[in-house]
Amino acid sequence: MSVYLKCIADTSKACAYEGSYESARAHWWLENLRTRSNKQSTALSLLGAIRFAHTDLEPPSFDCYRRGTGRDYRGEYQKSRVFTYLMTGGAAIAGSISAKNIVHSLVGYMAPSEDVLALAKVEVGIKDIPEGSSISVMWRGKPLFIRHRTQEEIDEANSVDITSLRHPEADSDRVKDPRYLIMIGVCTHLGCIPVGEAGDYGGWFCPCHGSHYDISGRIRKGPAPTNMEIPPYVFVDNNSAVVVG
């Protein structure tokens, strides 16, 4: 039995179709799909009509309003960059010179005066010191020990195995002339003044806490951590005098 069905394919058109219910449903589905695809094509065509970039248009030129020197902006940029570099370099050099002068002035202000520097050095005559004797003078507020050693004392100082010392130091590293030992007479423990020709090693002995130094001023026993300090000095007048400082 055939059924006469009417199908609306478009809002402005009507068509008659004779067939079964399934055929009518399939026809309606195809028409609906065709309508949707037409709408999508229309939307894509509208999007394609929109211009997102205008590369074919020339940008406006304002050269007629610019000065002659400003039209070639690349060349002017190079010139201005060179000028900037020159100004920056000149400012850096001037700042460095100013900083140098300021630091020099501050250091000169804090440096000791000429009379203080004169007192920082002391000249001592050593030719009259008997062999096997010592003298003590003041230098920068500290006692300075100068000993004229005998040959036996020199040999004894050189015979010590420095690897066994708390503060390893060879006797040749502590003297410029083996006959004369020049050192600051202050114990390296707590700053006491040691006594000469005393102690277990025939050198110096600190009575405060019992530090023993040998004939080269090296710590051998007691709480002192290091050897007695050797100051800077030079011999003058054919080793007849010494300038300390």
CA 144 to CA 223: how far, in whole Å? 22
The whole-angstrom separation of Cα 33 and Cα 39 is: 10
Q: What number of other Cβ atoms are within 10 A of residue 25's Cβ? A: 13
Query: What is the bridge-based pairing of β-strands 122-125 and 133-139?
Result: unpaired
Cα–Cα distance measured from residue 84 to residue 103, given in angstroms and rounded to the nearest whole number: 28
- What region does 141 belong to: left with phi over 0, alpha with psi -120 to 50, or beta? left
Residue environment code for 77-93, b if the CB has 16+ CB neighbours within 10 A, otherwise e? eeeeeeeeeeeeeeeee
Q: Which residues, 6 or more positions from 231, have their beta carbon under 8 angstroms from its beta carbon?
A: 139, 144, 182, 183, 184, 244, 245
Residue listed under structure tokens 């009507």: 14
Least Cα distance to 182 among 244, 236, 237 occurs for 244
Query: Which one is catalytic: 27, 104, 209, 212?
Result: 209
d(CA 186, CA 189): 9
Q: Clarify whether 189 is annotated catalytic.
A: no
Q: Which amino acid is at 92?
A: A
Q: Which residues are known catalytic residues?
A: 209
